Every structure is written in structure tokens, then in C-alpha cells.
Amino acid sequence: MILRGFQLLSLACAVALLAADGQPASAQEKDVLKNLNLPDISNYAPPHGDKSLALGTHGDVTLSAQLMDKGADITRGIVWRVFKPEPGSDGKLPMVASAHGGTAVFTLEPGSYLVHASYGRAGATKRITVGREAKRESLVLDAGGLELDAVLAGGQRIPPGKLRFSIYEGNAEAGGERALIVPNVKPNTVVRLNAGTYHVVSTYGATNAVVRSDIRVEAGKLTEATVEHHAAEVTMKLVREDGGEAIADTSWSVLNGAGDPVKEAVGAYAPMVLAEGQYTVIAKNRDRIYQKDFAVEAGKNTEVEVIASEASAIDPDEGAD
């Protein structure tokens, strides 16, 4: 902010010096102004009026933020935005300044402003009044951190690449839906959130291994939560005999114990993560359909072989239902 203001002030001084003799700027002087390389200031509103900073018509305000009341100042990771409180012609609040980092100093015209500080997914807004005298304002975010992980029954680790979390609002809406706050969170990632209770959905793989839980985040604290999945990795293959080679160009359908479709796949192998329970797998190769019942035990990765024999074959019309 200070550096940008200094560069703008330097430009104003340059213009004043070039025109100090009362004569129009020469072609050479115009080229000097045209070739000045100023940084992008698209995040800042253009100046209003013809008041000069040198006349003392602006005031400095120092903004700081804390996670909790009487906590230490946050030193990095804050996005500051300063708005005028009256909506513009487009119905939005005009943003007059912004900054990134920790404590920030803004030079603003006297008046009323709305200041918003965001820290990850946590945020707070405060109305401030700026005068000609320097002042300091503080925002309490009432926020903490949430770090999520998951294991299999018995404490067995889950490959991080197969594990994802989604964080929702704690309170469901009238229709039972919850507002999604943060999707696709990797394990052991700290997410900054306002204090409160959140609904967390942990997904292992991409099928039906899902665990839901409500977790509370406290201001000024890092909440570490680990959920337990009752699931396993299963690989299916169609073979002509026990331990035989997988038959290519096979279509797979997996049904749960109630007969509802769970997963479909195509290929010689059908790897997937399934929740603990009873299943039926149907394999189709060319004009033949085969099926097999199997069970998934938590934490026990396994390979399910479907034997391409008359004993496992089913009527094509039945398999298509």
C-alpha cells in the first residue's frame, strides 16, 4: 500500500514539475509520462476528487486481526478488503483498497468504511471510521483450524491419494441439504474456519466407502480429527480357472446385499474400494454373463475371481435386469 501510494505520488510530482513553467508538455515530456512503468493497481478504486495527500486530507488506519479475543496478532495469510458502506450503481459495495499478509496500514479519506478480513475460510467484518489522526482497529475472527485424517478399522493407514474430505455447514436446511463450505480436502491439511460445528464427509475411494461425522472447531485452537472407515480394496477379474489370467473386454456390475447397483466398470480387472458388507458381482464377456456372491471385510484387501464356467453363468435376460 505505502509503496504503491509513493509511486502514484511520484507520478503526480512528475506531472507538476513538467508543467511548472505553465507551458504545455512537450512531445519528449509526454513520452516520459507514457513510458512510466507502474504496477497493476486494478484492486484499488480510482481516486475521487482533487484533494492532495500533501494537504493532510487523509488519515492512516492500522488493521490487525486475532483468532480469538485477547489473542496474538495473525502475522500472515490474511486478505484485507476495505469497502465503502454505500452500494454503487451495480448494487455492490465499492472496494477502495486491499492488502495481503498480517497487520496492514491503509491511507484513506476521512469517512466510514466496512473492513473485511478473511483467513482461509474464516472471516470477519467491521465498520470503522477514519479521521485525519492515525488510529488502530482490531478484528477478532473467532476462528480455529481443522485437520482431518482417516484410518481403517484397527488403525491401518489409508493411502492419501484415495482419501478426500468435504466440509459442510453443521445445520441442515429445511430440505435436509447442507451448504458445502470446502470440497475435496486432502488429508492432513489444515483448513481455517470460524468457530462452530461442521458436518464432515470422508470418502475412501470413489464408490460407497463414506463416513459422516459432526466436528466442532474452537477459536484459537487446531482441532485434529480422525475418522474410521470400515471398507477394503477389492479387485475383480474373470478367469477360466482358479488363479488363471484375467479375461479382457469384460464388463462389470457390482450390486449390494439389497440388489442395488453400486459400481460399474470395464476391463480385465475391476479394482474398487467397497464398504464392509455382502455383494454380488456380475461379469459380462461377449455374449456370456457370470455372477458371484462375495463379502467385504474391513481392512482386508482381496481379489475376487469369477470363474467363467457353466456353474457361474446366468441367463442373459436375467443379468440385464
pLDDT digits (tens, 9 = 90+) for 45-100: 333 433 444 445 789 999 999 999 999 999 999 999 999 999 999 999 999 999 99
Domain 52-140 adopts which CATH fold? Answer: Immunoglobulin-like (2.60.40)
Report how far residue 9's alpha carbon sits from residue 2's, in angstroms, rounded to the nearest whole number: 10
Strands (E), 69-189: 78-83, 95-101, 104-108, 111-119, 122-130, 135-140, 143-152, 163-169, 180-185
Residues of the chain with pLDDT under 50: 1-55, 319-321
- The whole-number pLDDT of residue 52 equals 40
HSE, CB side, 13 Å, CA atoms: give it for residue 223: 22
Tell me which fold the domain 231-320 belongs to: Immunoglobulin-like (2.60.40)
* pLDDT tens figures, 113-150: 999 999 999 999 999 999 999 999 999 999 999 999 99
What local confidence, expressed as pLDDT, does residue 309 receive?
86
Alpha-carbon separation of residue 3 from 6, 10, 32 (angstroms): 5, 10, 21
Long-range contacts of 3-8, Cβ-Cβ distance < 8 Å, separation of 24 or more: 4/39, 4/41, 4/44, 5/53, 5/107, 7/38, 7/39, 8/38, 8/41
List, edge to edge, every strand of the sheet that includes 222-229: 190-194, 143-152, 222-229
Strands 288-296 and 313-314: antiparallel
Looking at residue 181, its pLDDT comes to 96
Q: Where in the chain is the domain with CATH 2.60.40.10?
A: 52-140, 231-320
Architecture of domain 143-229: Sandwich (2.60)
pLDDT of residue 18: 35
What does the pLDDT read at residue 154? Answer: 84
Query: What is the spatial distance between Cα 87 and Cα 44, in angstroms, rounded to a whole number?
Result: 16
Predicted pLDDT of residue 172: 87
Domain with CATH 2.60.40.1120 in the chain: 143-229
Q: What is the pLDDT of residue 254?
A: 98
pLDDT of residue 4: 39
pTM of the entire predicted model: 0.76
